Every structure is written in C-alpha cells, then in structure tokens.
Amino acid sequence: MKRYDQAGKAKWLILVIAAGILLLGVILYAGGRRLETRSVEEARGDLTQTEAVETQEYNGVTYQRREGLTSILVMGVDHDSAVESEGAYQGGQGDFQRLIVIDPERQVIRQLKIDRDTMTECTVLGYLGSPIGTKEMQISLAHGFGDGKEESCEYAREAVEGLLLGESIDFYVAMNMDGISELNDLAGGVTVTLEDDFSSIDPAMTKGTTLTLHGDQAETFVRSRMTVGDGTNASRMERQEAFLSQLASQLGEKIRASEQFTADLYDALQPYLVTDMARGRIINETWNARAYTLEEPCQITGEHRVAEDGFTEFYPDANSIQQAVLELFWEPVETN
C-alpha cells in the first residue's frame, strides 16, 4: 500500500470536514475504555450505594471522567464511492480525521485535530486479508486496510483509540471525496474571496475575486495545491479552515431553522457516507445539539520528520497526547 503522497492527495480533506459539520451534534452514547493509569475512587455511604467515580492523577492534579459524553471519529477518505475496493489493501487513506466529543450536560462540543501523518500503531493484514498484528505507520494508512467500508473504518477507529491511550470512540462517520461538491451545494454554496489564482483550473477563479463556490469549484478551492500560490500544504490548510468555518456557519443556520433539513442533508449525503450510526439517531442528536457551543479544536503537538523515502512522519509528544485526552474526556476534581 502506498503511503500518503503530499504532492497529490488531499482530495477528501474537506469531505471529512463536511461530514464533521453534518454530525457536529451527532454524538450519541457515553462511554470510554479505561486508561491503564487511572485509579478508581469508590463513593461510600451508609444508606445508599452510588457508582464509582473514575479518577486519575496527572502532574499532581486529580481528574475525574466526564459523564454522558459521546465521541465520534469523522474521516475524509481518498476513495471514490462509486468504485469497489479490490482486495484487503485498497480501502483508501483516511487522510483527514477529526474527533468530536459532545457533552450534553455542559452543552459544548469539543474537537481534536488529528494530523494524518501521525505515527502510531495500526492493524496490518496478511496475504489472506486477516489481521496479523500492528505496525507503527502514518495514521491515515489505517483506513487503507480492509474493504473500504465498515472494516476499514474499524481499523481507523482502533488506531485513533490506541493513539489516545485506550479511550474508546463511540462512532465513526467516513465520507468519500466525491461528496464535497454535493455538501457545498446543499449548504447553498460557500462564499470566499480568492487570495490565490485558480484560473489555470477554472477561468472564473482569479485572484481577488469574491464568489460563491458551486459544484466542482468547491473541490478546486479545497484540494488544489501545486499550481496555486506558493504550493505549500500550509496555505492549502488555511483555505480549508476558512471553507470549513463558513460551511459550518451556513449549515448551522439551516439545522437550527429546521429539523427536517438534517434529514434531507443526511439522505443526500448517504451515498457518500459509511457510518455505524442510525439515521434517526443522527437526526435527533443533531437537532438536540443545535445550540451547543462549539469549542476551538485542540491539537496534539510533536515533531514532523521527513523519512528516508521522502514522506512526512509526525511523531506526537506523549505529554501533549495526555493533555488532549484529559481535555476531551476528563475534568479536574474541585477541591474545597
């Protein structure tokens, strides 16, 4: 299986962003695999019995698990939904990944950006397509193993859970790259001012022009790199974040205005999606979370390195991983 090619494969990056917007309020069940380092403090009482409160110590601070959370892994997959995967290694790379955690009690939605080049343990398959163990590789490659659908999503989820010290992820939503244009148009088209020149791809997309993106223009805006501006991935990421911000705003307005819009949106995108969430649950939870506060995403820090084969690898900092886990799933215990 080929590794992620920075020069040409960011096709789905927004598609996942898109799916993330669709499902920002879609986190459903509470749960979480226990961290190996945690301790359990049992509540005691003479007349009643209460459930144990999960706690752990970190840097001299006691943390307890937040209750009632739902977590969802949103992925953008470099794969055409109309093409069937061949064999156990053609699932398409999960090149965009973002973890979303919904907290109904506090009415907030937390997010974690996951660098697609993050080096972590991923499940690998043998020649007959069965798991034979794990290997450290870029996390985007985890989805490439399997059938390109549910099996691939499970491998991707396992890789993220391992990265996050064993925290379990309740659900996944993966969207194939050919859903970008559909999503943009369902939102009414995202309006942007072009800071770079895209006219070699689309004559209407000249530098300085303000226009509402429609159809393939949205894909051009979020995917193009080598022939646009300075050709760097950093510039492309800035465009993608700008697109995401505006897309989220427009979809949010439509969702808050009508519960039916969420149903229509899901039905339109369903051909491009792979998810283990039920349609009705997605619609209900999205509607319930429509007024929640969307917090700024956190991000794991670390070091980017260029490997001998020329591909980029991101080595996450262990303390940063721990901090991200605490921010998403735990809270400090208040002391009197």
> Could you tell me where the DSSP H helices lie in the chain?
13-22, 150-163, 180-186, 216-223, 233-257, 259-269, 279-288, 318-329
Q: Provide the pLDDT for residue 90.
A: 67
Inside any domain, residue 304: yes
Inside any domain, residue 317: yes
**153 vs 247, more confident:** 153
**Overall number of domains in the chain:** 1
Inside any domain, residue 257: no
pLDDT digits (tens, 9 = 90+) for 54-83: 999 999 999 999 999 999 999 988 765 555
pLDDT digits (tens, 9 = 90+) for 15-42: 444 445 455 433 322 233 222 223 333 3
Encode burial over 170-201: b for 16+ CB neighbours within 10 A, e otherwise. bbbbbbbbbbbbbbbebbebbebebebebeeb
Inside any domain, residue 216: no
Inside any domain, residue 84: yes
Residue among 150, 168, 134 at smallest CA distance from 30:
168
CA separation for the pair 25, 102 (Å, rounded): 7
pLDDT digits (tens, 9 = 90+) for 172-187: 999 887 788 888 999 9
Q: Is the distance from CB of 114 to CB of 160 less than 8 angstroms?
A: yes
Q: Kindly give the pairing relationship between strand 119-125 and strand 131-138.
A: antiparallel
**85 vs 245, more confident:** 245
Q: Provide the pLDDT for residue 289.
A: 86
Residue 76 parent element (H or E): strand 70-77
Inside any domain, residue 169: yes
Average pLDDT over residues 251-261: 87
Helices (H), strands (E): how many in the chain?
A: 8, 17
Q: Provide the pLDDT for residue 103.
A: 95
pLDDT digits (tens, 9 = 90+) for 285-302: 888 888 899 898 899 999
Number of alpha carbons in the 13 Å side-chain half-sphere of residue 155: 33
Residue 173's domain is classified under what CATH number? Answer: 3.30.420.590
298 CB-contact burial (10 Å; exposed 0-12 / middle 13-18 / buried 19+): middle
Q: Provide the pLDDT for residue 32.
A: 30
Q: Is the distance from CB of 42 to CB of 52 less than 8 angstroms?
A: yes
pLDDT digits (tens, 9 = 90+) for 75-91: 988 765 555 545 455 67
Inside any domain, residue 250: no
Residue among 114, 88, 111 at smallest CA distance from 101:
111
What is 179-215 written as a DSSP string? GHHHHHHHTT--EEE-SS--TTT-TT--TT-EEE--T
Inside any domain, residue 316: yes
Q: Residue 71 belongs to what domain range?
A: 13-178+273-332
Residue 332: both structure tokens together: 């400090």
